[in-house]
Structures are given as structure tokens and as C-alpha cells.
Structure 1
Amino acid sequence: MTNDKAQCIKQLTALIEERQKKSEQEAVNNFVRDYLHIVPYDDIQGKNPEDVYSQLMSAWQFIQKFDTVDEKIPKIEIINPGCAQYPLQSSHTVVMLLQKDMPFLVDSVRMHLASRQLTIHAVQNLVFQAQRTKTGGLKEHATCTYDHGCPVDMKGYQTEAFMFFEIDRIAGDEMLSTLVSELEDVLSDVRAVVEDFGSMEGKIHNIINNLKHNPPALPEAEISEAIAYLSWMIDNNFTFLGYKEYKLGKKSGRDVIRHVDGSELGLFRPRSDSTKEKFIDTLPQDVGEYVHESRLVTFATSGTLSRVHRPVYPDYIAVRQFDKDGNVTGELGFLGLYTLSVYTEKTRNIPILRNKVEAVMRRSGLYPFTHGGKDLLRVLETFPREELFKTDLDELFATTTAIAQIKERQQTRLFVRRDHFGKFVSCLVYMPRDIYDSEIRKKIQQILCKSFKALNSEFTTYFGSSVLVRTHFVLRTDPDQTVDINVPALEQEIIGVTRSWQDDLVQNLIDKYGDEQGTVYSQRYRNAFPLSYRDEFTPNIAVADVQHVESLCAEKPLALCFYQRDGESADRAHFALYQRDEQLTLSDIIPIFENMGLKTLGEHLYKIVDEDGVVVWKHDFSLQYTLWRHP
């Protein structure tokens, strides 16, 4: 294929004129032009025109028939190229979908393919207007553009989306069929969300109206802030995925929480496996307390990963219902995702959050324009937004003030929050930026997952202007399995992972020589030992070597010592020889060992260079007593 898109279309037009019926050429040419308009040129650059033609004609044939009585049901084909239906030769598998156009289609399909660990090599999405026969045959099609609008009167047309994916090769008809079924389920979820979106927004309007005209027996400030928050939600700040209602009641003298039949919308549409009621005394104590909590608006996280729009655990916002005495009688629950702008918006512009931030600042007693006040406010503004919603005020105050007190110190800290339902554990890990890397992050993630017996985990890392990096780990846990964790001990285990060899050397030097002299030696020797030395010796041994190196001077350029490592047999020993400025010649040393009845098994040489550039060579000999006899 040439390196010019217009020339590409010209070549394809020639093939169309050669191979398509004259009566169909105009429609096919229009389709090719519209399709290539949305295809990245990199996807076709360098390809044989015959291959591009074959792909486009397969797509053209695919959209000719949308033969379903229910236009909401997608048409899906997954093909391994090389067959008569898709003659183009390719090492990939092709996924083609035709669906009534609606939001979230491409994102949701892409998410599912990625969840199956299938690499996506190409993705194309053509949205067009289609006029079809009663049996689903394509009569006319047109594409609307920003510059030219729609070329025909759209009466009698519906907007359709054609999606094309090239993915890793899938072997076997059964696996192909399984993927088709999975994608049908994903698109069914998308359809449920889109169809019920207006109804879910309508529920918010109804709640706002009821709060204004029939408010519960709660503080007026809490009610007005709830109204502000709900109004903010429907101002393009929240993508609704589901809705359902609960009622609190009694059964056999026990408190019970019930789903309200017929209330479910979106992803909460009734499913055969859904549980209709639960006795509250069978739930964990925290959940029972949460259910009766008299806060008007509460926040939680769904335990089911979203298959729509973004691959995250959705947020669950509950608006409590009360009787005239202020007792909780139920809740109206909304499932969804905050829009991306919410994560960068100033907290002062977000109802409920602005009050939390103000309450933390007031409790701290810090004036916002002082250094300490600015530090705390910065922590609150950059705090993970979901955590800011879900953390209660007492815990938020304790956590954020502790984070602010780290300041610019090179410390590693761990902060843990468990959700009420036992489904999630949130772990914030702060560590020095200069030691953070993916390997350390993986080790910390493994420690946390093992400690909390996590079913799975996710993480996000935040690099701000601070010398510290923050990684937020969200662990999915089994609510039926309680795990008691000693958080300070867990923090020490993580510190052990994040501490470098040099960090331990510094600490050991201070422990041995005290703050003043230890700090002097730390500055002098922190970077003195080469990687080969650090791989072989512990910081403890390095402290002993510092003592020998410090004993050297121009008048005394040589020091030596015999030592034995833990776990070595009694006939083994090591001999360390320290020489300032110059290396020793082995031929001068080994005969001395032999005369002492020692056999040299090996020798390693290390160049130690202190902060001032003074060089000391450490010769480390592995020795065996040749005269040794085991008793």
C-alpha cells in the first residue's frame, strides 16, 4: 500500500470497479471512504492493497445483514482468518461486532478482551446511519461528520456501530464460541446501563425533591449538603451503572434487610442468583452498625468488578431513608463511576468532601496559610479521591495528619483502612522516590496480599512534587475470613523491603558509633562500597570493615584480620587484608598461608573509595585448614 491515504483509496476504488457490480459500486466506495477515515494510517501502511480490500469487503458483507428481530441484540462474529468468509491471511483472530450505537461499547469490549489477557493489535470503530428492511437487510447507509453533518434525511435510519478488533490468535471453535457468549453478556450489561441511565438520574431528582419538601429529622446542614452533593452528581460528575432499594424490617423477631422487588435498574436488573434478604445478625458487626448508621449519604465500594466503561470496582452511594423518629428504614443505592474530572477537581468544589476537608483543617488547629497548614491541605487535596469519600472523619484526620508529619523525611510509612463489609482493604504506602521501582512495588504488593489473604489486588502510584512516592493498593478480600493484622509489624516488614543496603549501613554505623560519629562515617562510607561487595557482605560486616579502614594511614597502610562466617564448617576460615592505595601481589601472600597449613580456596578483591576519594583495597581470602582433623 502506498504512503498516501488518498492514493490508497484510489487503488481500492480500482479494485471495487473491477470486482463489484456497477449498481453497488457507489455504496461500496462510500463505505470504504468512510471506513478509511476512521482507520489509523499505521494500520494499513505497507499492507498489500489486496489484503486491505479483503478486510474492507469482509466488513462490508458483515454489516449487510442485521438479522435479528430485536435490534438491541448485537451481531458478533469471531473468525480465524484464512477461511472463505475472511480470506485475508493473518496470524491473529478477528472480532467483528455490529450493535445499535450507544455509549461505552468500545471501552467495554476492549476491557473484556484485556481481562482475558488477549493483546489487541488493531481496533476500529465505525458509527454510521443505517436504513434496513424488515428482515434486517441494509438498504442505505450514511456517515455523519463534524464538518458536513449528515448527508441524508435521517428519518427511518438508526445509528449503528461496527467494531473491528484484531487480537491474539484463539485456537479451537469452543474457545471462539465462549468468547462470543462472554461479549454478548458484556454488551447486555452496557445496554442495561444505557437504557436505565435516564431512570437512575430521575431517581436522584426524586430524592432531591423529597429532601427539599419532606426532609428527615436530621440536621439541616447535613440535608442541604446532601442535596448539593446529589445535584453535583447529576452535573456530569457520575456515570450511573445501577440502582436498587433496600428496606429494613423484621422477620421472626430478627432485623432483616430486603431488596425491594422491581426497584432494580442497570447492572442491578434482577438476576436468578440474587439474594433477596439477609438477617442483620448474620452479618459482621461493622456491617450491622453501618446498616443502622444515621448518616444521610454513605459511601462504599462494590465487590464486583465493572465490565462497563472502566475496569474498576464501582462506587456505591447510599441515600438513607428514615421514619419520623429518625430511625433508618432503608436505603436507595446507586452504583457507578465518578467521571475523570472529579479526580482532579479541587475539593472545595465537591459537596461533602469540602466539609470533610474543612473539618480536618479545623480539628488540626493549623492556619491554612502557614507552612504546616499548607502541608496538611496538600495532603488532603492529593489524597486518593475514593478514600476521601469513604474514610470517616476520625480516621481521615488521623491518617492525613500523620502523612503531613512525614514532610520531606526519607521515611517509608503504611496506612491501612478496612471497609465496613470486609470486602476491601485500602493500603497507602509512602516511600522515598529515589528507591521506588516496579520490583519494590511488586514485593510490597506480595507482602500485603499474603498478609490480608487477598483474592486479588490493584494499585495506583502517585508522583507529586514531594520526595516521597505514594502507592495505593486496593486488596479484594473474603468478607467471611477475618484476618487480624499487626499494622506496625507489617509496616516494618515493608520498610525492610524498601530499605537499601546503604540505608542499613547508615543505621548500623549510627547504632555502633552514636549519632555524631555515626553520621560522619555514614557520609564518608555510604557510597564507598561497590556493588560486588554489597552482593557478598551484609551491612554489619561493612561496619567492621569501616573500623579496619579507619585504622589505616600513611604510616600504617596495612591491616588484617581472620574471621569465620556463620554456618561455615570448623576447617574453613577467611582472611581479610586491607591495603591503602595499592593492591597486594598474591604471590607474596599465598606462600605464607601454605606455611601456616592453610589452603587458599579463593580470593576476591574489592575497591573501597570513601567520600574524599581515598582508596582502600580489601583482599578477602577463603581458606581451609589442611591439617584439620575432625575429632
Structure 2
Amino acid sequence: MSDPHAAPIPEPSVLAQLASSGPGGETLGRFVSALYARVPAEDMALRSAGEWVAIARDLHGFGAGRPAGAPRLRILNPEPATHGYASAHTVLQVVNDDMPFLVDSMSMSLAERGIGIHLLVHPVIGPESWMHIEIDRQSVEDFDALADVLHASLADVRACVQDWAAMREVMLRAAEAMGTRPLPVNDVVRAESQDFLRWAADNHFTFLGYREYRVVDQGGERQLAAVPGTGLGLMRASPPHAPRPVSAFAASGKRGERDVLILTKTNARATVHRPGYMDYIGVLAYDENGVAVAEQRFLGLYTSGVYNRRPWEIPLVRRRHDQIMERSGLSPASHSGKVLRHILDTLPRDELFQSSTDELFATVMGILALQERARSRLFLRRDRYGRFFSALVYIPRDRFSGDVRDRIEALLRESLQGERIDSSISIGESPLAQMHVVIRPKAGAVVQADAATIEQRVAAIVRNWQDGLRDALVRAVGESDGLRLARRYAKGLPPGYIDAVSPEIAAQDLVRAERLGSGRDLALSLYGNDGGLRFKAMRRDRVIALSDALPMLENLGLRILSEHPYQIEADGRTVALQDFVVQPQRPLADLAAARAQFEDAFARIWAGDAENDGFNRLVLAAGLSWRQVAMLRGYAKYLLQTGVPFSQAYMEETLVRYPLAARLLVELFEARFDPARDSADPARTDIAAMSLGRVLSGLNEADRAALSAAVDAVSNAVGLDRD
């Protein structure tokens, strides 16, 4: 809702009345009315009526009396005492003869220097263009440099506009002359080339510059030299380069190919109309021997409508389109033929203009193959004149993001030694997003482009976590089961889990989760991760209460540092997963050897098959199984019943402190009482007893007494005498 107490938005008619009543009278009033006629209401609401009139009065006073053909431009940080108003921004005032491209070119010049525009008022009043532009605050010291840039932009606009008709006429004459010139091409190519020039001149090409060149002999070397007095537009005032060897000339590197037209991009960015490298149309002339002797060079920009025209509507391009359709062997009425035609229609128009038929055919057939299996692909083309690389990158649209775009641009910049990159994105109804990147290598760079390697790196960028999970599951359980698990769990994994867990670990989790049920209530995993230790527990439906898990893990010799619970959904069932970050109370010598016994012990304790006390620390400390620990626990409790002067806690701690003694006690017991043996093994028994004796001899008196009692209990239980 609007604020009923807010000041009314100044209307141009009200401002005109206000201005007419002050200095300047009706003349200023009419100017104010025209100046603000198309300013959006939300912008008008930012200032009072008095401020808008002051801005108009200051601009009108600056531009009044300007002679035709001479632009006026001023940069200021307005002050109320001097200009009648203040602004937090710097103000740019421009008055010029009205002509096309003024606003576009001024805005482009500011944007190229990273200067933002906050307000742009630009009416045409009579034969003049008036501009009030508020830009990012600039220091007074920077005014002159910025003014020079903007004056140069205005001069470029004027030169292009003044010479536009002349440049267009030169192109039409070139098209006509092409009909009778000796050319090393057949009549079809000749006619298509003529049609292309006429088509370009028919409002499909914005002319920015023109110059004519001749091949001359200097010192026995063929060189390309500008013809004096032929420059138009941007090239009228710019001095021509000194003659250069034909080998450095754009049309030289074609290895026997004969072109009538050169269609490419320049190395210079446009200063008029819109940003980007200028398009280059070169018209070649040949002598009777088929040797190139001259070039008419047109610089400019294809109009925006060109990028929406169908390939079969553009001369030269339509011929290439027909050649590719015929070469493909596909019927235009078939499904694949229609898809191929659509691919050609959706390619960047620069690719259609600049690619050879062979390059274009390889690209579109590669894109056609993507329709059957959507995946990332790179099609890399080097400009035939060596000026830039053009990369077409296709990405499954569900994988495309701003981050993916940035990373691919960085990869191409690094791989191709790019100094400047321009990119555009097209996302239509296709399952693939199309990314077109033009990379200009640094001056003097020698680039050996390895397209296959770059494509592999693009694929790695595009791959997401789910791709990695699918591949890890296939490696773990085979393609059939792996893909089945990937489909089952793909949408049921919580975002926090995906962020925290690698695809390889997740695959192991899902394989274990799949085994839950059918009498199995719990799935466990103890593993190392990033230099630390983790323990995972999975159950159907609900987690293990932390109040239950904490004492069990501590009695097994692990401290819990943190817990991360997750719920995994699949086919209507829930798997509760707890990921514990743990720390062993004593260093672990061999995690791999202890893992299975630890997981088995935890499961037995949870099921109630084993007691939950400090003896369980022997699983990790001594590498014992839960049954072996249960045997030692049983003898300890027997000793407590006989009245030994040691508590259970002391006996637990002593055995954990001397894990070798614990293992030897188990060895002594099993040597005589292993149910897998038919009878006692005297030799094994003697070795265990002797080893225990050596261990005990090195202990302090209290610990030795406690362990000796345990040895006596084991020995008596199996009918042995200890020497």
C-alpha cells in the first residue's frame, strides 16, 4: 500500500509550471516538461519538485547556445550553492546533435570502466539529445581522464553515423562488382557471396568502419598496405598500420582454401552501440591467376535480429545448412533429421558464420549424439585465422549453475592462456544447457590445445555428488544392484548428509542400510576418515539414544567428540543413521584388524548378549573378541567372589594397561580349553605360561598381584599348576 503521508510524486506538468514562474520563464518550463516526460515515477519520487527544477535549470544553462556539430560534456559533483542541488553521485551532463547509438555507447563506456549508472535521463528535444546521468561518485582528480574517454566515444559515434550511408554503398558496390571479377570459386558460391553482402547491407549489419587494402611488393615480399583516403567510420581518423607481410594477414592461413569473403571477429572491441569484439567482413579480390590482390574490410556488428534468423534464411549459411543436412544422410522429415535441423537453428550464429562446413558438420553430429544420452561435451574450435578459440560446452541442465559456469570459464582461461573471455548461456526446452565461450589468448602465447583433456576436466566439474555415488555403488556391488540402489536412495538422502559425506563412504552406508531387516536390526561401521576416527550405527526407523550409545562406546574405549544424526528415506521406509566422530582412549595399532571385532562387540552389547562394562575396552586395547572378553570378565568376577583385595574397576584398568598380559591369559585359557581342540596342547600351554611369567616379572607389586590372581584362576580352572 502507498503511504498516505508520503510527499506527492512530482509530475512533469507541475514541474513545468513551477519552472515557468521562475528565471527562464516559459522556455525553461517547456524544457522541463520535455526533459522529465519519460522518467519513471519511482525515480521522480526520489527528489522534491524544487530539486528537479534546479537540475533542469543547470542542464539547460549548460547546453544553451551549443553550436551544431560540437558536443558539450561536463562532469560535476553538484553543490547547492553553485548548481542549485546536491547529489550523492557524480553527474554527467551531455548535449549533442541527436543521432543513433549515443546512449548505448555512453553507457557502454562507463560499464567498461566499472562505473555504475544510478539515473539516466535522455530525452531528444528538437534536433538535440540531452543527457543527465548520475554515476558512481568520482573524485575530481579523475574527471579529466573520464571526460577524455567519453569525448572519444562521442567522436566515434559521430564518425560511424556520418559515414554509415557511404559504408553501406561501398558494400553494395562490392557485391555488384563481384559478379564480374575473376574469382577462384564456382558460380553458386559467387552468387551466395553477392547475396550475403546485399543481405548484410539490408539492415543486418551495423557499419562501424571500413578501409581498403592492396597487396604490394616491398623488397621482394608481398605485403598488405592500406589504400590512403579509403578509411570510413572508425577507420577514417585512425592512421593505418604500416604495410604488413601477407603472411600476417587474416586470409593467408587457409592452406590452399579459396575464399571470396572473410567472416570472423576482429581483435578490437566495439566502442559504439554494444560491447563485444567487432565482426569483420572482408571482401577479397583476385587476379587472373587466382592470387589475392586486394581486400575491402568492413568492421561492425551484426544487428540483434540476425541472431534470431533461421540458418536457411541467411545467404552462405543456408548453403552450409543444406550441405550438412545432405551429408548427414538423414531425411528432413525423420525424427533425427528434424532434431539435426533444430540443432543448427539453435547454434550461436557466430559459429554458423565462422565455422567451415567440416567443422560445423563434426560439431552438429556430436551434438546430435548427445540427444540419445545427455552428458557434458566440449566442442573446441580455433578461429581459422588464429585470433581466438570458440568453445561450445553442453551441460545437463540440472547440473548447470553459476558456479559451474565460473569454473568452466576459469578452466578454459587457464588451458588456453586466455587474456579475455566472453560467454553466453542458452537454456531452452532441451535437457542440455548450451554454454558458448570465446577465449582470446594472451599476445604472443603459443597454445597447444588438448581438447580431449579439457573435456575430461569439464566433465569432472559438471559431475555432481549423485554421479559419484552411482559410480561408487556400481563398483561396490556391480552394475545391476548398484544402479538399483542409486535409484532407490537418490532422492532420499538429506542435504546435510550429502554435504558431509563423500560418495564412496555413502555407497558403503547404503550397502549396509540395504541389509537391514530380515532379522538384522543394526548395521555398524568403524572407519578412519581424514586422519580421524568415525563410528556409524544404522537402524530401522529410530536412532540409538545418545544416553545408551555414550556408555557403550566409552566402555569400548572410544570418546564421542560429536554426533551427526541423519534420516535416509527409501521406498516408504526410514533408516536412522548416526555418524559419531570418536577418539580412541589409547592409540590404535591396527584399525583394520580391530574393526570387525569392535563392530561385533557393539552389536552383542546392544543385543544384551554381552555386558556393558570397562572390560570391553580390551576389544580395541588387546584385540580381543567379545567372547574372549567375556571369559576374562567371568574369571574376574569369580575372583571377586573369592574375596581378592581388588575391585572390578582395578582389574579392568590393569588388563587394559597391560594388553599383552590380557592376550596371554586368553592364549593360556584357549591352549587348554579351546572347544575346537580334542585335547589340551601342552606345548602351547607352556609357552603361554612362560610368556606370562616374563610379563609379570616386570610389573609393580600391586599390578603383578592382580594379574597373578587372574593367572591362578585360569590355571586352576583348567587343572594346571603354575611354577
Do these two structures clear the TM 0.5 threshold for a shared fold by scoring above it?
yes
Paired residues of 1:412 and 1:430 also in contact (CA < 8 A):
yes
- Would the aligned equivalents of 1:602 and 1:621 in 2 still touch at CA under 8 Å? yes
TM-aligned CA deviation for residue 398 of structure 1 = 0.1
Partners of 2:214 and 2:521 in 1: CA distance? 85
More divergent stretch after superposition (328-337 vs 590-599): 590-599
- TM-score by length of structure 2 reads 0.77
> For 1:135-154, what aligned pairs fall within 5 Å after superposition?
none
Residue by residue over 1:53-87, the C-alpha shift from the partner in whole angstroms, topping out at 9 and shown as x without a partner, is 101111221121326xxx42311001101154422
- Find the residue that maps to 2:88 and give its secondary structure: coil
Cα distance, 1:621–1:241 mapped onto 2, change above 3 Å: same
Query: How far apart are 1:553 and its partner, in Å?
Result: 0.5
Aligned residue pairs total: 585
C-alpha contact (below 8 Å) 1:12/1:49 kept by paired residues: no
The amino acid that maps onto 2:52 is V
In the alignment, the residues of structure 2 paired with residue 15 and residue 326 of structure 1 have an alpha-carbon distance, to the nearest angstrom, of: 71
Contact 1:422–1:478 (8 Å) recurs in 2: no
Q: Which residue of structure 2 lines up, in the alignment, with residue 65 of structure 1? A: 65
Aligned with residue 475 of structure 1, among 435, 439, 442:
439
Q: 1:615 aligns with which of 574, 579, 582?
A: 574
Please show how residues 274-423 of structure 1 align to structure 2 within 5 Å.
Answer: 274-281=240-247, 283=248, 288-290=252-254, 293-407=257-371, 409-423=373-387
CA distance in 2, matches of 1:554, 1:463: 47
Larger-Rg structure? 2
Could you tell me which of 608, 624, 631 is aligned with 2:583? 624
Give a deviation string over 1:511-556, Cα, whole Å, max 9, x none.
Answer: 3333322221111121232222212211111111122111110411
Q: CA deviation at 1:334?
A: 0.7
The answer to whether 1:78 aligns with 2:75 is yes
Query: Counting helix residues as a fraction of each chain, which structure ranks higher?
Result: 2
Shift of 1:280: 3.9
Asked if the contact 1:579–1:618 (Cα under 8 Å) also holds between the matched residues in 2, the reply is: yes
8 Å Cα contact 1:294-1:328 kept in structure 2: no
Write the letter of the residue equivalent to 1:9.
Answer: S
The residue matched to 1:50 in structure 2 has which SS? helix
Alignment of structure 1 residues 479-498 onto 2, 5 Å: 479-498=443-462
AA aligned to 1:296 is V
- Identical amino acids, percent of aligned pairs: 33
Tell me the equivalent position of 2:170.
203
Work out the CA distance in 2 between the residues paired with 1:351 and 1:14. Answer: 58
Q: Pairwise mapping of residues 240-279 of structure 1 onto structure 2 (< 5 A)?
A: 240-272=207-239, 274-279=240-245
State the Cα deviation string for residues 433-479 of structure 1 (Å, max 9, x = none): 12212121111111111111211211111122111111111122225
SS at match of 1:455: strand
Aligned equivalent of 1:16, options 20, 30, 39: 20
Q: Which residue of structure 2 aligns with residue 140 of structure 1?
A: none
Q: CA deviation at 1:325?
A: 1.9
Alignment of 1:61-210 (within 5 A): 61-66=61-66, 71-82=68-79, 84-129=81-126, 159-171=127-139, 173-210=140-177
Query: What is the CA-CA distance between 1:341 and the residue it aligns to?
Result: 1.2
Contact 2:118 2:134 in 1 (8 A): yes
Cα distance in 2 for partners of 1:624, 1:38 equals: 70
Q: What value does the CA root-mean-square deviation take over the aligned residues?
A: 2.2
Q: Deviations over 1:28-47 (max 9, x none)?
A: 22222222323333322353
Q: Secondary structure at the match of 2:272?
A: coil
Mean Cα displacement is larger for which, 457-466 or 45-54? 45-54
> What does residue 464 of structure 2 align with?
500
| Equivalent AA in structure 1 for residue 287 of structure 2 | D
Which residue is 1:152 aligned to?
Answer: none
* Offset at residue 15 of structure 1 (A): 4.7
Instruction: Give 4+ residue runs of structure 1 displaced > 6 Å after superposition.
Output: none
* Letter paired with 2:62: F
Q: Give, as a single letter, the amino acid of the residue that structure 1 aligns with 2:75.
A: I
1:34 is aligned to 2:34: yes
1:139 aligned residue? none
- Name the CA distance, whole Å, in 1 between partners of 2:111 and 2:190: 42
| Aligned pairs for 1:564-579 within 5 A | 564-565=528-529, 568=531, 572-579=532-539
- 1:239 has 2:239 as partner: no
Q: 1:4 offset after TM fit, Å?
A: 6.7
Number of the residue aligned with 2:502: 538
- In 2, are the aligned partners of 1:505 and 1:539 still within 8 Å (CA)? yes
Q: Distance in 2 between matches of 1:421 and 1:228?
A: 24
- Tell me which of the two structures has the higher relative contact order, counting C-alpha pairs closer than 8 angstroms and 6 or more residues apart: 1
Displacement of 1:246 = 2.2
Letter in 2 for 1:127: V
Amino acid at match of 2:40: P
Task: Assess, with a 3 A threshold, how the Cα gap between structure 1 residues 292 and 328 changes in structure 2: closer, same or farther.
Answer: farther
Distance 2:479 2:569 in 1: 23
The alpha-carbon distance between structure 1 residues 77 and 85, as it changes in their structure 2 partners (threshold 3 A), is: farther
In structure 2, relative to structure 1, the CA distance for the partners of 1:592 and 1:386 (3 Å cut) is same
Q: Distance in 1 between matches of 2:197 and 2:137?
A: 46
- In structure 1, C-alpha distance between the alignment counterparts of 2:469 and 2:258, rounded to whole Å: 53
- Contact 1:215–1:223 (CA under 8 A) maintained in structure 2: no
Q: Which moves more between the two structures, 256-265 or 365-374?
A: 256-265
CA distance in 1, matches of 2:185, 2:575: 75
Cα deviation code 1:323-367 (max 9, x no counterpart) = 012221121111111111111112222110100100110110111
Distance 2:588 2:351 in 1: 67
1:161-208 CA-partner distances (Å, limit 9, x unpaired): 11111111112x221111111100111111111111122112112212
> In 2, distance between residues paired with 1:329 and 1:462?
41
What is the aligned partner in structure 1 of residue 674 from structure 2?
A: none
Correspondence for 1:50: 50
Aligned counterparts of 1:3 and 1:232: Cα–Cα separation in 2 = 52
Question: Gaps spanning 5+ residues in structure 2: where?
Answer: 1-5, 591-723
Deviates more, 1:258-267 or 1:497-506: 258-267
Closer/same/farther in 2, CA of residues 292 and 243 from structure 1, 3 Å limit? farther
Following superposition, the deviation at residue 215 of structure 1 comes to 4.6
Structure 2 counterpart SS, 1:302: strand
2: CA distance, partners of 1:509 / 1:2: 66
Counterpart secondary structure, 1:263: coil
Q: Is the 8 A contact 1:293 1:328 kept in 2?
A: no
Q: When the two structures are superposed, what TM-score results if normalisation uses the length of structure 1?
A: 0.88
Q: 1:222 to 1:52 in 2, by over 3 A?
A: same
2:535 is equivalent to residue 605 of structure 1: no
Kindly provide the amino acid, as one letter, of the partner of residue 623 in structure 1: V
8 A Cα contact 1:414 1:429, kept in partner: yes
**Secondary structure of the structure 1 residue equivalent to 2:277:** coil
Structure 1 counterpart of 2:416: 452
1:522 partner SS:
helix
Note if contact 2:19-2:28 (Cα within 8 Å) is conserved in structure 1.
Answer: no
Alpha-carbon distance in structure 1 between the residues aligned to 2:504 and 2:332: 45
What is the distance in 2 between the residues matched to 1:396 and 1:557? 60
Aligned partner letter, 2:150: L
- CA offsets per residue over residues 563-616 of structure 1, 9 Å max, x none? 112x52xxx532222111121022323323333333222222222212x02211
Q: Is the 8 A contact 2:15 2:32 kept in 1?
A: no
Q: Deviations over 1:249-288 (max 9, x none)?
A: 333333322222222211122535x52222245x49x963
Q: Matched residues in 2 for 1:629 and 1:223: separation?
A: 82
CA distance in 2, matches of 1:128, 1:595: 89
Structure 1: runs of 5 or more not aligned: 130-158
| 1:596 and 2:556 aligned | yes
* Per-residue deviation, residues 216-250 of structure 1 (Å, max 9, x unmatched): 35311111111111111111111111111222233
Q: Which residue of 1 aligns with 2:395?
A: 431
- Does structure 1 retain, via aligned residues, the 8 Å contact 2:16–2:28? no
